[in-house]
Structure 1
Amino acid sequence: MAIPRVKHFEITLTDEGVAIIAFNRPAHRNALNGEVYKEWDRSLMWAAQSPEVKVTILTGKGKLYMGGHQLASTADIDESKSRKAVKESIVCVQSLLNTLINFPKLLIAAVNGPAIGIGMTTLALCDVVYAVPDAIFLTPFMQFGFCAEGCSSYTFPSRIIPPDNFISDVVAIATKTTNFPPIAIFQTKNLVRARERETLMAVNRNECEVLLER
């Protein structure tokens, strides 16, 4: 399957089958909006369905991993349009989180810098998390008047790696797993995730319903 053409992510695929999906919105500090959620979901669906992809890495371009949800300034808010945009974003978030919960292949997060909001909470839905020593993890939901998201009302790095050659080191680790029998990875991941999949799906649904009530 061809690598999807997306605006806000840089996607590469190594010869060994390691897909690297990198958030790439430096002007917005890698923050997400409805369009970006859709692209992230689409990128993950490609990685899940593509026979060429054996392992997937999520990371960020520049010095940030992810800046969380992009908030509009007070001056830009049109209440009716804002309400519609929020509902659309929540639908996109719910779909994205369900894709993460049900992702069938090994999913690695390479946290190269600050992980804020949903950028942090979705780490718990990855199989392995690697982080640079100065990575910052922040969930300022209450500060902005939001409830928990990203299944964080239910869930919470596996290893800290020096910043020099960070991504190449994570890719090297991921590459080793491409030699493992795919069925073994699938079965092991299913054993770990099966017990909590329905719970996570329900938590995701409930969180999105509460967000819609805001």
Structure 2
Amino acid sequence: MYSGDQILIFERLKMFFQKNTVSLFQKIPRNLGFFEKNLHLSKSALVTKEFEDAKTKLSLLKEDPGSDVKLKIYALFKQATVGACDTPKPSMVDFVNRAKWNAWSELKSLSSLDAEKEYIKLINELVKSEQGETNQALPDLKKFQDIQTSIEFNNVYKIVLNRPTKLNAITFTMYNELIEALSEAENNPNILMVCITGAGDYYCSGNDLTNFSSPSAMSDIKKAAKEGGILLENFVNSFINFSKPLVAVVNGPAVGISVTLMGLFDYVFASDKATFNAPFTKIAQSPEACSSYTFPRLMGPVKASEFLLFNRKLTAHEAFERNLVTEVIAHDEFQSKVWKKIEEFSKLPPESLLESRKLMRDGDKELLIQTNKKEVDVLVGRWSSNEFVRVIMEFWGNRSKK
């Protein structure tokens, strides 16, 4: 039997629990141990255990759920543990605390117990969603022959140029696969940006000259040049029309079109061992990927001419000085620092990021498409020229000597 004082204490604790729905056993003084021994857990107490579990689950979430969801979590937590908002409204200039106050205040008609249940439900939904994303089938790495794709940080589409034994030289197959991969990233609403890097020591050694040196291509060079021009125009347009940020992770030497495309990227990381080269006039070709427009804007006309016309090879630091590269990182710590930075990018507010990029890019889009077409028309002529045929013959001659 309990004494009158013990019964009074019991009733007061019961009222306190019903009002605040907090863990009884956390709040009971140690000298009331008899209460722990004699109390049968009610349905409400079981909910409170779930509440504590939900708090733990929240701390283990890997992904930021976003500002709106975090405000809702905060408001439900306060409503569940404190009750209706009774604190003074923060000033207009205190944006963060005012937003938190507004979220909490909007729940004034919600009971503490119902707030606790909603809190538990919301956290469980977030956990389930994150687990679903983790377990979601990623793009099949085997569906592409010359590239690999994966999803990093749940919203970054990573493309790896995957011909390391050929220094990641771009084949016609690779062109088509990159177009398909960009389309996949574009149409996936969960993807925020695309990052492109190379397997092995090279980022990319440019076009694979075997594209034009196969027996079928050599038998009708004009037809091969025309078909190559259509593919190249579509390829570059896939970058021009891509609506999400493009990030290059240049892990080693970059040559030709892999360099000229960088004028269409939003951020370019470069290892300090990377080099940048576009020896077009050495191989009887001409600029592509809109570089005849983007590079003079980035570097200035004189420096762009040195690079595009006179085959100047740039170090990573020189490329940085010419605004082709955003950031140069020591090779030994390149991968760790780059992907840490990209993880930070992945947490940026997506709508703000995409809308801001749209403002910066849309004004040039039509001009870039026109520039791409002009460059391709010139290149088709170059690929059909006697100069280029001689380059291909020399290429085959050098291969046969090895």
What is the TM-score with the length of structure 2 in the denominator?
0.50
Structure 2 match to 1:211: 379
Are positions 1:172 and 2:340 aligned together?
yes
Q: Quickly say closer, same or farther: Cα 1:73–1:35, change in 2 above 3 A.
A: closer
Deviation of residue 75 (structure 1)? 7.6
User: What whole-Å deviation, never above 9, does each CA across 1:69-101 have from its counterpart, x for those lacking one?
Assistant: 111399855533443333222212111111111
- 5 Å matches for 1:16-35? 16-35=154-173
Out of 129, 136, 139, the position equivalent to 1:3 is 139
8 A contact 1:33–1:69 mirrored in 2: yes
Out of 256, 276, 296, the position equivalent to 1:137 is 276
User: What whole-Å deviation, never above 9, does each CA across 1:4-37 have from its counterpart, x for those lacking one?
Assistant: 5211011111243122101011222111121110
8 A contact 2:194–2:245 mirrored in 1: yes
Look up the equivalent residue of 2:185 and give its one-letter code: A
SS at match of 1:197: helix
SS at match of 2:242: coil
Look up the equivalent residue of 1:72 and give its one-letter code: T
- Deviating more after overlay: 171-180 vs 80-89: 80-89
Distance between the aligned counterparts of 2:259 and 2:233, measured in 1?
16
Q: Quickly say closer, same or farther: Cα 1:200–1:35, change in 2 above 3 A.
A: same
Q: Kindly report the root-mean-square deviation, in angstroms, between the aligned alpha carbons of the 2 structures.
A: 2.0
5+ long unaligned stretches in structure 1: none
Q: What is the number of residues matched between the two proteins?
A: 214
Look up the equivalent residue of 1:71 and give its one-letter code: L
Q: Greater Rg, structure 1 or structure 2? A: 2
Look up the equivalent residue of 2:201 and give its one-letter code: K
Structure 2 match to 1:149: 288
Structure 1 match to 2:318: none
8 A contact 1:16–1:175 mirrored in 2: no
Are positions 1:104 and 2:243 aligned together?
yes
% identity of equivalent residues: 32
Q: Quickly say closer, same or farther: Cα 1:178–1:86, change in 2 above 3 A.
A: same
Out of 251, 267, 287, the position equivalent to 1:128 is 267
8 A contact 2:212–2:218 mirrored in 1: no
Q: Quickly say closer, same or farther: Cα 1:200–1:159, change in 2 above 3 A.
A: same
Distance between the aligned counterparts of 2:335 and 2:211, measured in 1?
34
5+ long unaligned stretches in structure 2: 1-136, 296-324, 383-402
- Deviating more after overlay: 204-213 vs 13-22: 13-22
8 A contact 1:8–1:25 mirrored in 2: yes
Out of 209, 216, 222, the position equivalent to 1:83 is 222
Q: Quickly say closer, same or farther: Cα 1:85–1:19, change in 2 above 3 A.
A: same
Distance between the aligned counterparts of 1:155 and 1:74, measured in 2?
27
Q: Which has the higher contact order (CA 8 A, sep 6+)?
A: 1
Distance between the aligned counterparts of 2:182 and 2:335, measured in 1?
19
Pick the structure with more strand per residue: 1
Are positions 1:196 and 2:360 aligned together?
no
Look up the equivalent residue of 2:287 and give its one-letter code: A
SS at match of 2:229: helix
User: What whole-Å deviation, never above 9, does each CA across 1:171-211 have from its counterpart, x for those lacking one?
Assistant: 22122122222221111111111121111111001011111
8 A contact 2:229–2:380 mirrored in 1: yes
